[in-house]
Chains A and B, each alone.
Chain A
Amino acid sequence: KAGVTQTPRYLIKTRGQQVTLSCSPISGHRSVSWYQQTPGQGLQFLFEYFSETQRNKGNFPGRFSGRQFSNSRSEMNVSTLELGDSALYLCASSLLGLNTEAFFGQGTRLTVV
């Protein structure tokens, strides 16, 4: 079966702009989680959506938001981009949530200039 698909793979944006990243989970998976990976901070949990509802969240400012659609596809939005938002953004899907196996996409590499 198809894996987790993230689009786009690479993105360059300017400070102050906003960006939307997309994640299509494995068919049948209802949980989608988002992570930010940077060399300095490592992997940090952003939030988790389950059945269109944000169920869990990490410690990121309100500029980071997300949503999940009825087909479980998820989008993450970052507004008013800062240079420090440059990172690899990873999406993971799982059948039931954070306590079960998560399957990761290849990520979207965002560069803010």
Chain B
Amino acid sequence: AQSVTQLDSQVPVFEEAPVELRCNYSSSVSVYLFWYVQYPNQGLQLLLKYLSGSTLVESINGFEAEFNKSQTSFHLRKPSVHISDTAEYFCAVSTFSGGYNKLIFGAGTRLAVHP
């Protein structure tokens, strides 16, 4: 069965430091990969996505993620974080299984940026 593993449930970091949020998935078929961010009491917002093409994808607010097929990973990185980046981040995989398309989310990583 397909699954998504976010290796860290919480990541504390100081402002302006770099950060990496790790995501691994298991799937024997082609997948589409997403990172979503959820601020307190809000729904999810798409941060970036990999559908095909270049394995490095970037968002408008400085985050980037690299699709690594051999390691089945899609880690999220930012070279310098801000206080406003404090939120919960979800990695998600869209795949076709059992006759259905499914969107499977990881458990989430809570990023806490400290001054």
Contact = CB atoms under 8 A, between A and B. Distances in A.
Contacts of B43: 4, 90, 92, 104-107
A92 B101 contact: no
A97 B102 CA distance: 10
B49 A101 contact: yes
Interface residues of A, number: 24
Nearest to A48: B101
Contacts, number: 52
Nearest to B41: A106
For chain A, what secondary structure do more than half of its interface residues adopt (helix, strand, loop), or is it mixed?
Answer: strand
A42 interface: yes
A11 interface: no
Contacts of A48: 101
A92 B7 CA distance: 26
B104 to A, nearest CB: 7
B105 A42 contact: yes
Contacts of A90: 43-44
A33 interface: yes
B25 interface: no
A98 B46 contact: no
Contacts of A44: 105
